[in-house]
Amino acid sequence: MSQTTKAERAIEAYHQYKEKQSASTAREYRRHVRRFRDYLADYTEATLWDCHSGHAEDYYQWMKDDKGYAPSSVRVAHASLGDFYNTLETFGTDGRRGFPEVSVAQDPTEHATPERLDGMYSQSKKDKRNGDKPLSKEEVAELIENVPAPTVRNELICRMLYQTGMRRSELVRIKLDDIDRNNRHIAVFGKKTGEPRNVWYQPSLDSLLSLWIEGDRNAVFHAEDSPYLFPTRRQERMDEQTVTDVVTTAAENANLQETVYETKRPSNAKDGHKTPEVRRVGAHTLRKSFGVHFINDGGDISFLADLLGHDDIETTKENYLKYSTKDLENSVRRHGPSI
């Protein structure tokens, strides 16, 4: 049975199981599981069986930022996927109730939560505490000064995220051939069509990039056989969760990290499950910081939308202009007509 057939069979079995409880809920949940399956096929190399929490959180971010879904829809998607994997664990292991016999590496929703994402809180949430704000330039510098070992690789990761504004899922898929070191731009393949967009980095990254590509990278076990910029000792390219771990650890080392919110205990949580904390600083925070600093330094909002890979400029305005009120006010006072 092909992976595609197995996935569709599992989704249909899940739909039939849920339909006995509520036909409308079954349809809604099936739609969300199918969308997640299609997202994995279009944007990643993972499947429903081997994806992890990093894929789930990237999916929630894609729903909200790239597709414009409301936070409530993202939360429903999270609930749908959590219920699907919980049901799959119950019936898929032995292939009962019409489910194919499948082995799932992990429930990707167990340690993922849409509440980590920027903009998922309403302003009235008492525990928000500015959790979606970007870092200042001074804070970014402090974070970079405190990256964990291996320092060359991890400093490059943080600087590249900040200087280009790319997503962590795009960063781990950069191949050596995608980098034009003469013109300092990188072709990022992050779209369903496979068409790249270019992002640019600054001259300050040159020496660090050379140190990694011509030096430290060669000591990695899979480097010789890998086309990717960031291979690891276990596989030909790094996974997204490692990028998040690098950034969050650096933020903690720099005393920049703080708990914004403790999520509710998942309904499918097992004994010993630790309720995830929503932390202020993650990999996406550097992307956010890039965008806000770009605007505050006079960058054009339409250019920013292209650099970030947003399908709709309204997404860019909604998520980035709100942090630039003071700069926009000063600009109007300085350049606006006075008659």
User: Is there a single domain that holds both residue 131 and residue 101?
Assistant: no
Question: Is residue 238, in this structure, part of any structural domain at all?
Answer: yes
Note whether residue 216 is domain-resident.
Answer: yes
Q: Count of CB atoms within 10 A of residue 207's CB?
A: 9
Q: Which tens digit of pLDDT belongs to each residue from 271-325?
A: 554 445 556 788 889 999 999 999 888 888 899 989 998 888 888 887 787 776 5
Q: Are residues 194 and 313 in the same domain?
A: yes
At residue 265 the predicted structure's pLDDT band, cuts being 50, 70 and 90, is very low
The domain boundary residue, chosen from 116, 147, 179: 116
Q: Are residues 110 and 133 in the same domain?
A: no
Angle between helices 53-61 and 23-43 (to 10 degrees): 100
| Between residues 146 and 1, the one the model is more confident about | 146
Q: Counting beta carbons within 10 angstroms of the beta carbon of residue 94, is it exposed (0 to 12), middle (13 to 18) or buried (19 or more)?
A: exposed
122 domain-assigned? no
Q: Do 298 and 245 belong to one domain?
A: yes
CATH number of the domain enclosing 67? 1.10.150
What is the pLDDT, as a whole number, of residue 335? 64
Decide if 271 is inside a domain.
yes
What integer is the mean pLDDT of 172-191? Answer: 90
Residues 138 and 30 in one domain: no
The answer to whether residue 268 scores a pLDDT higher than 90 is no
Tell me the percentage of the chain whose pLDDT exceeds 70.
81
pLDDT tens digit string along 191-222?
444 578 999 999 999 999 999 999 999 999 88
> Residue 121 — very low, low, confident or very high, per pLDDT cuts 50/70/90?
low
Q: Do the domain assignments include residue 331?
A: no
Its domain, for residue 40, covers 3-116
Give this prediction's pTM: 0.61
What digits encode the pLDDT tens for the residues 42-79?
Answer: 998 899 998 988 899 899 989 888 888 888 888 889 98
Task: Let me know if residue 286 belongs to a domain.
Answer: yes
Report which of 148, 129, 151, 128 is spatially closest to residue 248, judged by C-alpha positions.
148
Residue 73 lies in a domain: yes
Quick check: 130 pLDDT over 70? no
In a domain, 330, yes or no: no
Helices (H), 109-194: 137-145, 151-164, 168-171
The pLDDT value given to residue 254: 94
Task: Determine contact, residues 206/213, Cβ cutoff 8 Å.
Answer: no
Q: pLDDT band at residue 125, thresholds of 50, 70 and 90?
A: very low
- What CA–CA distance (Å, rounded) separates 273 from 225? 38
Q: Which of 107, 110, 111 is nearest to 49 (CA)?
A: 107
Same domain (yes/no): 247, 179: yes
Please give the tally of structural domains in the chain. 2
| 281 class by beta-carbon count within 10 Å (0-12 exposed, 13-18 middle, 19+ buried) | buried
Across 164-169, average pLDDT? 92
> What is the rounded distance in angstroms from the CA atom of residue 308 to the CA atom of residue 323?
16
Q: Which of 133-137, 163-167, 266-270 has the lowest mean pLDDT?
A: 266-270
φ, ψ of residue 62 in degrees (nearest 5): -60, -45
Q: At 233, which CATH number? A: 1.10.443.10
